[in-house]
Structure 1
Amino acid sequence: MKKFITMLLVCVMVLGLFAGCGNGSTQQTTAATTAAPAADATEAPAQETEAAPDTIVIMAPPVTGNYLENLKTWANDFHELYPNLTVQVIETSWGDHNDKLSTMAQAGEAPDIAEISSNALGTFVEMGVAIDIAQYMSADRLADYDENALKYLSLEGTTYGLPLYLTIQSIGANKTMMEELGIDVAKIQKEGWTYEEFLDVIKQGTKDGCYGFVFANSGVTASDMLYIFGAGAGLSNTFTPDLKYTMTSENMLTMLSAVEEMTKSGYMPNYGVEAGQRMVMCQTGNAMIFGKAMPLFENNFKKNNAALEANDGTAVENSLPMDYAFLPVPTMDGCAESCYGTVDGLIAMRNKNTTDEHLKNVLLFMDYICSGERIATCMNELYLDPVCQSGRDALVLEEGRDADNLATAARCIAMVQAPPEGVTTEMTATAKKLMDEQIVPKFQLLLAGETTAQEVYDHICEAAYAAFGADNCVSGKLG
């Protein structure tokens, strides 16, 4: 009997040991399948429960030649990381993107994510459709982006978007044609030039079938010329540091008078040039200098030259082999040299079906495509540096860049003046409305020779005084 009891106790103890081992194994398995949040935008955290399916809609123009195709690839890669999340891409052109986005936003049908230029931000904040993204993404991911670039997509201390790139916008040229005329292109790139020098150069470049200068100024793109050439006339920002509206200054009249002179002389077309035409006109020998231009166009010229040499049918029709020069904007009336810079980025937008949970998914994807290898790929195509640390870490620079263009771009970037602090959402939206509804239409009449620089300037002053009040607008010349 004692032996039986002893045997029974031994069995109970052994069973207890096995039971203890079983409990320890369950705890380890649970710990192993519970992942911490992703350290960066390329890793998907493991999910204990099946997440609800969700669709994210993004609308974008061709930021680069391959951007829209890349965007589809990245959307598929993102879906593999997050199988419950599907991304729908709405493709637009540069010509129709802004109008389409504005129409959709006003109808309560805005896409979840949209590409915008920083000067359009106030319009969407004023509409109430822009989202404070800091509420829906982690602070450590937001910290990946450069503070100065984020400021362009912020108003009154609230950040509404993530930057794709900080770029400089200026003018570009058929370097081959300029040098054939005996023009010292390298000196212009290194030292800059005055409007009078610029006018003489485009006069030399104007011949039968060739304009000395063209600018993309059809439709809303006309504002680009006002901003870019405005920098050379001392109009580096829409508002002064003491928050007065600058487009009513004498500097504006100086710039308008220069445009009037160029069109009347025949050195520049007196009709609207589509955005896609201006560089083509340069490549086909129908224009010597064009705007707006960016450093990345060096790559377009190189690719076209290679296509011409290969005779593979992919070159621009009737184009000629030529080198590209990125040039500074000429200065006017003794103004200091400057350059127009802007940030293009992605903003999250609210529509009729938006929920907080959905916005978390939206920001997850938006961060994914603005960072890491994705943005490094874009910047290589744009010939720009990424504005986030993860992008810089992933960037591998392409070889063969033109040294003079690189130096000119670096010099121009150093001249960009950031917008002053204190500009409100209302001020930005009002300035944008003035530009689109009052200034651009009158400016297009000036380009067509149907009005004068003075008449356009007087109209701008009248409209601005009504919008901001005369005391809040600059009179006389900017210092």
Structure 2
Amino acid sequence: MKWNKVTAILLAAMLVVLTACSSSGSKDGASDVDVIKVWTYPVHGNYKDDIAKSVAEFHAKHPNIRIEYELLTWAEGPKKFDVALNAGSPPDIYYHGVSGQYVDTGLALNLDPYMTAEIVSDYLPGVLDKAKIQGKQYGLPMYQYQWAWSANQRILEEAGIDWRKIQKEGWTWSEFKTEAKKMVKDLPDGSKQYGIVTDATTTDFIEMLARSSGLVDVVDRDGKFIWNDERMLETLKFIRSLVDEGIMPKETAAIDPAKRVEYFYNGKTGIASKGLPYYDVMLETRAKDIDAGKIKGEKIEHVYLPIPYKDGGKWQATVGGEGYVGFRQKDDKGEQHAKNTFLVMDWLTKGVHGGNSASELCVPFARQSQIDAFKGKDSRGKPHNKIAAEINQSHGVPSSDLFVDAKVSASKKKFIEQAQKPMQQALFSGSRTPEQIFEEFKNKGEQLFR
């Protein structure tokens, strides 16, 4: 009986030691399998299959590291991530562009110690800069994104609009209004066809037009608030004139993103705001569904158009780099875990793994290894739209978020939520004049950016 007690005590002690060693191995990633958590989104139609294949290939190559990934929804994912980040327990890797708010938490992983010369040289010139905050690398871009407008080729050509010229040379605000008015008409069913339709819930319409007026962002690279410039008032007046002159629907204030797409799919507008080259693939899939009798509607030939710029100004496009951002947790898991996190980030963004997204979205590649992986393969997207995307990319201006500190970035977010969103609703509805909204912007800016 005494011997059994001694044995039990020894066994318990050994169990404690083994547990401690196991925990240490998991934390440092040295002896046990290190789990790297990835939160991402359905980036394109085949992304679920693509990432599953990439993860399986990684596991075969690195059996000591296991990737646990979760596909979030676009609607709820950002909220889930914010909750986790604020709690100090974000995933190791998150699909997003870099943000000063992430850096402000102290949890964003500075990637500079892990950036080898080979990885740096694999990225195309200027691409890595799109994932830096104040010169430090916090993200690895998977592709180079860009936003512009999408148009219905049939409607453009029926209105006699030379869209190929616009794709190559761009257009001014006045030129846009002249062309857009040509597309406005009454349709046989009693409805109206508009020149352009946007929604009142997302903020990009005002932001892109403000950028095209010369105001790159809410703040400049030095963190100075610039939406108090008279060019902002001109932008607001221009947008309001699109409603007043019938180029946009009078009910724009009640249109959400789904309704905006409905206008476009139903041939009720020549142009839909916030377009990207990926519409080529989306509309191709939609055309197959129409042929198969799954849905009814017009098979739309997509035209990718740049944002018009203020007369006397210059073409300035909305571009950036999107991919993966790395994080530590409040309960830090050690340096080896951080190295493994970076290893996974590099794997998911290089070669065919990252190139799949660029190819499917019809946007420029981020890395030479992606270009090499897709050499000789069929390229997605229509040739004229791919050329238009390359031209648009050459006019790109990066967000000021890449240069300002975290405090300014946080103030910018508050400005968008507290001033921009409510005031754009007022602008579209006509409940406030452009002048009144401009004053609101100036007052809020003075309050937040002191």
Q: TM-score, normalised by structure 1?
A: 0.78
What letter corresponds to residue 376 of structure 1 in structure 2? G
What letter corresponds to residue 69 of structure 2 in structure 1? V
Determine the structure 2 residue equivalent to 1:408: 388
Paired residue for 1:261, among 227, 241, 247?
241
Determine the structure 1 residue equivalent to 2:425: 444
Q: How does 1:424-435 map to 2 (within 5 A)?
A: 424-435=405-416
Q: Distance in 1 between matches of 2:123 and 2:221?
A: 25
Q: Distance in 1 between matches of 2:172 and 2:449?
A: 32
Determine the structure 2 residue equivalent to 1:126: 104
Determine the structure 1 residue equivalent to 2:284: 302
Determine the structure 1 residue equivalent to 2:323: 345
Q: How does 1:10-159 map to 2 (within 5 A)?
A: 51-118=31-98, 121-136=99-114, 138-146=116-124, 148-159=126-137
Paired residue for 2:269, among 254, 264, 287?
287
In the alignment, structure 1 residue 465 sits paired with structure 2 residue 446: yes
Determine the structure 2 residue equivalent to 1:372: 351
1:172-208 per-residue CA deviation (whole Å, 9 max, x = no partner) reads 1001122122222223223322223323443343441
Q: Distance in 1 between matches of 2:266 and 2:387?
A: 27
What letter corresponds to residue 442 of structure 1 in structure 2? M
Q: Would the aligned equivalents of 2:200 and 2:424 in 1 still touch at CA under 8 Å?
A: no
Q: Would the aligned equivalents of 2:37 and 2:68 in 1 still touch at CA under 8 Å?
A: yes
Q: Would the aligned equivalents of 2:92 and 2:326 in 1 still touch at CA under 8 Å?
A: yes
DSSP-derived class of the 2:364 partner: coil
1:405-435 per-residue CA deviation (whole Å, 9 max, x = no partner) reads 2332222122113457853333333223322
1:120-175 per-residue CA deviation (whole Å, 9 max, x = no partner) reads x1111112221102235545334433452221221222111101222221111001
Q: Distance in 2 between matches of 1:283 and 1:172?
A: 11
Identify which range, 94-103 or 285-294, moves more after superposition. Answer: 94-103
Structure 2 residue runs of 5 or longer lacking an equivalent are 1-28
Determine the structure 2 residue equivalent to 1:328: 306
Q: Distance in 1 between matches of 2:236 and 2:38?
A: 38
Q: Would the aligned equivalents of 2:180 and 2:196 in 1 still touch at CA under 8 Å?
A: yes
Determine the structure 1 residue equivalent to 2:340: 361
Q: Indicate how the Cα distance of structure 1 residues 104 and 211 shifts in structure 2: closer, same or farther if over 3 A, else same.
A: farther
Identify which range, 394-403 or 376-385, moves more after superposition. Answer: 394-403
Q: Would the aligned equivalents of 1:236 and 1:339 in 2 still touch at CA under 8 Å?
A: no
Q: Indicate how the Cα distance of structure 1 residues 400 and 103 shifts in structure 2: closer, same or farther if over 3 A, else same.
A: closer
Determine the structure 2 residue equivalent to 1:173: 151
Q: Distance in 2 between matches of 1:406 and 1:72?
A: 28
Q: How does 1:160-239 map to 2 (within 5 A)?
A: 160-206=138-184, 207=186, 208=191, 210-218=193-201, 222-239=202-219
In the alignment, structure 1 residue 248 sits paired with structure 2 residue 231: no
Q: Would the aligned equivalents of 1:136 and 1:359 in 2 still touch at CA under 8 Å?
A: no
Q: Indicate how the Cα distance of structure 1 residues 117 and 436 shifts in structure 2: closer, same or farther if over 3 A, else same.
A: farther
Q: Indicate how the Cα distance of structure 1 residues 250 and 93 shifts in structure 2: closer, same or farther if over 3 A, else same.
A: farther
Q: Distance in 2 between matches of 1:92 and 1:263?
A: 36
Q: TM-score, normalised by structure 2?
A: 0.83
Q: Indicate how the Cα distance of structure 1 residues 50 and 405 shifts in structure 2: closer, same or farther if over 3 A, else same.
A: closer
Determine the structure 1 residue equivalent to 2:19: none
Determine the structure 1 residue equivalent to 2:13: none
Determine the structure 1 residue equivalent to 2:434: 453
Determine the structure 1 residue equivalent to 2:260: 278
Q: Indicate how the Cα distance of structure 1 residues 137 and 273 shifts in structure 2: closer, same or farther if over 3 A, else same.
A: farther
Q: Distance in 2 between matches of 1:104 and 1:242?
A: 30
Paired-residue identity, %: 25
Q: Indicate how the Cα distance of structure 1 residues 282 and 425 shifts in structure 2: closer, same or farther if over 3 A, else same.
A: same
Identify which range, 449-458 or 285-294, moves more after superposition. Answer: 449-458
Q: Indicate how the Cα distance of structure 1 residues 146 and 87 shifts in structure 2: closer, same or farther if over 3 A, else same.
A: same
DSSP-derived class of the 2:396 partner: coil
Q: Distance in 1 between matches of 2:203 and 2:232?
A: 13
Q: Would the aligned equivalents of 2:40 and 2:94 in 1 still touch at CA under 8 Å?
A: yes
Q: In terms of Rg, which structure is larger?
A: 1
Q: Would the aligned equivalents of 1:137 and 1:364 in 2 still touch at CA under 8 Å?
A: no
DSSP-derived class of the 1:109 partner: coil
* CA RMSD in angstroms, aligned pairs only: 2.6
Structure 1 residue runs of 5 or longer lacking an equivalent are 1-48, 470-479
